[in-house]
Amino acid sequence: MMMIVVWSTNNVGLVHGNGIAEEEAEQFSAMYVFGDSLTDNGNNNYLVNSLAKANYIPYGVDYYAGPTGRFCNGGTIADFLGDLVGLPEIPPYASPFATGTRILKGVNYASAAAGILEETGQNLGDRFSLNKQVQNFQNTLNALKRQLGEKDLSRHLAKSLVVFVLGSNDYINNYLALQGFGLRKFLLAGIGPLGCIPSQLATGLAPPGECVGFINDYVSMFNVQLWSMVDRLNANSSSGAIYVYGNTFGAFYDVINNPGTYGFSVADRGCCGIGRNKGQITCLPFSIPCLNRDQYVFWDAFHPTQAVNKILAQTAYSGSPSDCYPINVKQMAQI
């Protein structure tokens, strides 16, 4: 993802809560989001025994609704992508408000600390694993069927966008299960450069100014396999489904290595956190974050700022084949 997108990141305005004006028309009928803390928009708030929550200040300090459970100072990648394709903000599945007509434009199932394996994240308590997220989608499907009827539901699902932002290598069966439900358009995001996040820099495993190379090597191995899997899925698809690989690693790595090009001045430590690189302890309740948040690549020990999320969403939406393969999200909407 080496497309250069220069944003005035000091002006990440709030339009529909996220900072990107909606398109004139909806390009997808709905958006269904599966993932972890990078896209959780509040599901973990409703899990009593979860430690993976971001429902407190200073999380959401730049979001129109305040601390909603998003692990960021503002909007997530899914929020910005939703704006770009012309959809309104979608509710978290676990919210009591995710009912009736409120789910017609999509639902977010992402859960912080979630993974493919059931045991992933168990040290942080309750979370919705990918398998559980797919089960939750099935519940949504039943609710939609009652509202739309089978014929209209089939059209609705075929024109919906499915976004996966999770980091593991054995979730192909979940993709195929969703395809079996009638979904046809999938954006599968690769893993970003984890060796460059503040929590890893804080370990001292790399010289100052460098990322932890062996961790990025592991990530790259997974991403190569995911890219290859997208080719196989597309080659074997008999239902008209299209799978797209989002090269998150490339886009994020370019921002980290060329921060000035994108309007950033700090790329090696969090805006909110404690210790070396502000990455040894992540953002605690009522911590005081940096004031120039839009000049920081990282919000906390693990997550990017909303300014970076905006860039990543734009790149997935309209980037070249090296950014989003084999086509981008805007092109996918036209199919």
Nearest to 91 by CA among 47, 146, 138, 31: 31
Q: Are strands 324-325 and 242-246 parallel, antiparallel or unpaired?
A: antiparallel
Q: Which amino acid does the sequence have at 111? A: S
* Strands of the chain, DSSP E: 31-35, 106-108, 161-165, 185-189, 242-246, 266-270, 296-298, 324-325
Active site residues: 37, 300, 303
SS3 state at 173: helix
Nearest to 103 by CA among 154, 33, 151, 19: 33
How many residues are given for the chain?
335
Nearest to 185 by CA among 248, 252, 120, 230: 230
Task: Tell me the two tokens of residue 306.
Answer: 């909303």
